[in-house]
Amino acid sequence: MGLRDKILNAKDINEKLVKIEEWDCELLVKSMTGKERANFLKNSSKEGELDFEKLYPELVIATTYDPETNEKVFGKEDRDIINTKSAGAIEKIAKTALELSGLGEEAQKEIKKK
């Protein structure tokens, strides 16, 4: 197997089971693919600036899976309703998702500054 094949066949999507006490459940949070991250950033901005009303819901939609079925929990139609849920619960998911997706603390600080 050549290097290209090795890279393309690598299992590189990280995941973590996260307990959300506020919702009395565990969720599987997965890292985003490059395409998912690009869509997340595109869908979280308005006129070139980050739109904080969209940022966390888009992140939750992109990265939250049912640990039993491995299917996404939320869809785009859930963006507004996600914003009505506990900020603490959403923050737990978002923090985990950002870390798993390679958007560590420095990137998170930059996002919060804007």
How does residue 106 score in pLDDT terms, banded at 50, 70 and 90? Answer: low
pLDDT, tens digit, for every residue of 17-53?
A: 999 999 999 999 999 998 888 888 888 888 878 888 8
Which pLDDT value is given to residue 68? Answer: 97
Whether 69 is in a domain gets the answer yes
Number of domains observed in the structure of the chain: 1
Whether 6 is in a domain gets the answer no
Question: What CATH number does the domain containing 108 carry?
Answer: 3.30.2220.20
pLDDT, tens digit, for every residue of 70-94?
A: 999 999 999 999 999 999 999 999 9
Whether 86 is in a domain gets the answer yes
Whether 1 is in a domain gets the answer no
Exposure b/e, 73-95, CB count within 10 A at least 16 = b? bbeeebbeebeebeeebbebbbe
Whether 72 is in a domain gets the answer yes
Question: Could you give the CA distance from residue 80 to residue 9 in angstroms, rounded to a whole number?
Answer: 36
Residue span of the structural domain in which 28 resides:
12-113
Whether 48 is in a domain gets the answer yes
Question: Could you give the CA distance from residue 104 to residue 101 in angstroms, rounded to a whole number?
Answer: 8
- For range 103-110, the mean pLDDT: 60
Which pLDDT value is given to residue 7? Answer: 95
The DSSP symbol for 106 reads H
Helix (H, G, I), strand (E, B) or coil at 86: coil
